[in-house]
Structure 1
């Protein structure tokens, strides 16, 4: 399932957009402020984002410019009520991949977001590799040599983050956000997912393991030789 970030401070419009995208299998995390959206983008591997230009703490393009300056190439659609040519040019020059003026038809928004989701993000590997593991997100499969295990969506999202930063200790809340965005989950939801991943690593005979660094977080690393 695809997950995108929406920066939009108009509550009713944000709800309508979320519902329209959800009907096409796209999960939306909505934020009203640039600083909140920036924090979320550091924690969740979103597949695309939709930005409104006019939000309470500035112009949505400020967020886009910060992301591009940091090397983040996440596909981006910019929304605006401004129809002037120079506003469209400004958005594209800031790093936007597409532009949609308000008011718009929901069908067009969904079609444009789907088009963005078909664009690979250049800065991230499509099938990340860590040690003897290879992740195939398009099929929800984890491979070790010629053997594979089917992953649930939450398991896939957690492994995506761990395998893109092998050996790095990642905090509990970051892994939760990767799996479920900012939805409310039970306190032990991540523990259950990690337990299932560990069992699948054992079934595959992998030399990789998920280590718990007490009080800090979790890391994917190679087992030490006995």
Structure 2
């Protein structure tokens, strides 16, 4: 069973991640501070580390530097509220294999953990809750919209577009189901599942935000049913 070290100072998030990993067949352990993580790494062996950046005592970059300077090539996934392109590039350049911004979906985190582990011992067919197995593509594309899932960056007709973490997740879900009409309830479940949001009005608000950035004609409202992406023919008609 693969041993995972979760370095996270917020107990609620650490518990949430640990429960998800346990359900997926992993053996999670937690550290709440940078120094605690360093001690854990010195005294035990882990197959992968999930690392927050804003840690007490020693930040995530310092922990990562300790790991890499010791010659340890253990996969590291940064999980942080810092979602800018600069932070993402810095994290990956510092030796992390992956970078995820909060808020996040535990199913996606588990999938990324599996992708970073050679010959994973956990089951490989568990659903992500988004209509498929846990294997995730590196990018998604649909009629001029492209999402880089690793760097969490977006382009429309090759022009970069700045999306918030929630807007990116909403766009990702829509591009994963390019020909499917997704109801407000489905989008609430897929995009906001790790929070306590209960009103479908938030979906309409974020659809409006996304239309402003991707183009109003790229997301179609299907009256009484929900939303879907526009087809090439619909975009051509303008």
TM-score (norm 1): 0.51
Does structure 2 conserve the Cα–Cα contact (< 8 Å) formed by 1:76 and 1:96?
Answer: yes
Task: From the two aligned structures, give the one with the greater strand fraction.
Answer: 1
Aligned equivalents of 1:44 and 1:116: distance in 2? 20
The answer for the alignment partner of 1:73 in structure 2 is: 73
Aligned equivalents of 1:118 and 1:16: distance in 2? 24
Aligned equivalents of 1:109 and 1:54: distance in 2? 19
Does structure 1 conserve the Cα–Cα contact (< 8 Å) formed by 2:64 and 2:95?
Answer: yes
SS at match of 1:74: coil
Aligned equivalents of 2:110 and 2:116: distance in 1? 10
The structural deviation recorded for 1:119 is 7.4
Aligned equivalents of 1:22 and 1:103: distance in 2? 20
The structural deviation recorded for 1:42 is 1.3
Q: Does 1:19 align with 2:19?
A: yes
State the aligned residue count.
121
The structural deviation recorded for 1:82 is 1.3
The answer for the alignment partner of 2:56 in structure 1 is: 56
SS at match of 1:45: coil
List alignment gaps of at least 5 residues for structure 2: 122-238
Give CA-to-partner distance per residue, 1:14-34, whole Å, 9 cap, x none: 101000000011111100111
Task: Give the 5 Å matches for 1:30-45.
Answer: 30-45=30-45
Does structure 1 conserve the Cα–Cα contact (< 8 Å) formed by 2:35 and 2:58?
Answer: no
The structural deviation recorded for 1:58 is 3.0
Q: CA RMSD in A?
A: 1.7
SS at match of 1:55: coil
TM-score (norm 2): 0.49
Aligned equivalents of 1:67 and 1:2: distance in 2? 18
SS at match of 1:30: strand
Aligned equivalents of 1:118 and 1:7: distance in 2? 21
Does structure 2 conserve the Cα–Cα contact (< 8 Å) formed by 1:75 and 1:119?
Answer: no
Residues 56/21 of structure 1: CA separation in 2 closer, same or farther (3 Å cut): same
Higher relative contact order (CA 8 A, sep 6+): 1
Give CA-to-partner distance per residue, 1:80-133, whole Å, 9 cap, x none: 11111110011011100000000011110100111111279xxxxxxxxxxxxx
The answer for the alignment partner of 2:108 in structure 1 is: 108
